[in-house]
Amino acid sequence: MVKKRENPLEELQKARAESDARRKQLLERMKSQKAKPKPVSEAKAQAQGHSREKTPALDVSAVMTAARLIHLMQLESGLGEPATLNRPTLALLERFFEVLSSGVSASVLQ
């Protein structure tokens, strides 16, 4: 006895319809999850708020004065001559500390 095989086109259409239904369900589930705001724990919110309040004001000019006084020495091949930070490094440090003190982010190209 020979079994008659179903039409392959019907099988493909049925599989595609099932796949589309699953995809729509997944999309609806993702939309509903995205719409719900995530609850923020009160302890975490207070910790973030207090950490900003406890940060003292940063005097950028005093920090840069201290950075200019730093003397670096090479230790790889014996004790080298002391050197200070170069201008590009000082400019990057100054911008970093300005951003840190103001809280306003900036892009710096190097």
Over residues 96-110, the pLDDT tens digits come to 888 888 777 767 665
Q: With pLDDT > 90 as the criterion, what percentage of the chain qualifies?
A: 22
pLDDT value of residue 23:
93
pTM value is 0.44
pLDDT value of residue 20:
94
pLDDT value of residue 22:
94
Q: Of the candidates 74, 66, 71, which has an alpha carbon nearest to the alpha carbon of residue 84? A: 71
Give the mean model confidence (pLDDT) for residues 57-73.
88
pLDDT digits (tens, 9 = 90+) for 13-63: 999 999 999 999 998 888 887 766 666 565 565 555 545 444 567 888 998
State the Cα–Cα distance between residues 110 and 105, nearest whole angstrom. Answer: 16
pLDDT value of residue 65:
92
Residue 4 C-beta-side C-alpha neighbours within 13 Å: 2
State the Cα–Cα distance between residues 73 and 82, nearest whole angstrom. Answer: 5
Q: Of the candidates 63, 50, 52, 55, which has an alpha carbon nearest to the alpha carbon of residue 90? A: 63
* Domain boundaries of the chain, sorted by first residue: 57-102
